[in-house]
Amino acid sequence: MIAAILIFAMTYLVMAVGKLPGWRLDRAGAALLGGSLMVGTGVLTLDEAYRAIDMETITLLLGMMIVVANLRLSGFFRLVNGFVVPRAHYPIVLLTAIVLTTGILSAFLVNDTICLVMTPLVIDVIERLDRNPVPYLLAVALASNAGSVATITGNPQNMIIGSLAHIPYGTFVTTLAPVAGVGLVLTIVLIALIYRQEFLTREKLAATAPQPPARYHGPLVWRSVLTVLVMIVLFFLGLPIAQVAILAGALLLVTRRVKPEKIYFDIDWPLLVMFTGLFIVVAGLEKTVLTPDAVAEVGKLDLASLPILATVTAVLSNIVSNVPAVLVLKPFVAGLADPQRAWLAIAMASTLAGNFTLIGSVANLIVAQRARQRGVTIAFWPYFTVGAPLTVLSIAFGVVWLGWVGA
- Cα–Cα nearest to 8, from 287, 292, 334, 335: 287
Q: What's the confidence (pLDDT) of residue 213?
A: 61
pLDDT digits (tens, 9 = 90+) for 135-163: 999 999 999 999 999 999 999 899 999 98
- Cα–Cα nearest to 158, from 190, 205, 110, 229: 110
pLDDT digits (tens, 9 = 90+) for 385-394: 999 999 999 9
Query: Quick check: 180 pLDDT over 90?
Result: yes
Query: Quick check: 291 pLDDT over 70?
Result: no
DSSP assignment string, 190-245: HHHHHTHHHHSS-PPPPP-PPPPPPP--HHHHHHHHHHHHHHHHHHHTT--HHHHH
Single pTM value for the model: 0.86
Most confident of 22-26, 124-128, 136-140: 136-140
Q: Give the mean model confidence (pLDDT) for residues 357-376.
A: 85
Query: Quick check: 208 pLDDT over 80?
Result: no
Helices (DSSP H) in 18-75: which residue ranges?
27-40, 46-52, 55-74
pLDDT digits (tens, 9 = 90+) for 37-72: 999 999 999 999 999 898 988 998 899 999 989 998
pLDDT grade for 377, boundaries at 50, 70 and 90:
confident
- Cα–Cα nearest to 204, from 130, 142, 120: 130
- Which of 102-116, 157-171, 196-210 has the lowest average pLDDT? 196-210
Q: What's the confidence (pLDDT) of residue 329?
A: 87
CA–CA separation, 178 and 108 (whole Å) = 15
Percent of the chain with pLDDT strictly greater than 70? 93
pLDDT digits (tens, 9 = 90+) for 216-272: 777 889 999 999 999 999 999 989 999 999 999 999 998 877 888 888 988 888 888
Q: What's the confidence (pLDDT) of residue 34?
A: 93
Q: What does pLDDT average to over the chain? A: 87
Q: What's the confidence (pLDDT) of residue 297?
A: 57
Q: Residue 120: in which H helix or E strand, if any?
A: helix 111-129
Report the SS3 class of residue 394.
helix
Query: Quick check: 101 pLDDT over 90?
Result: yes
Report the SS3 class of residue 106.
helix
pLDDT grade for 327, boundaries at 50, 70 and 90:
confident
CA–CA separation, 177 and 154 (whole Å) = 11
Top pLDDT among 316 and 345 is at 345
- Cα–Cα nearest to 304, from 333, 326, 266: 333
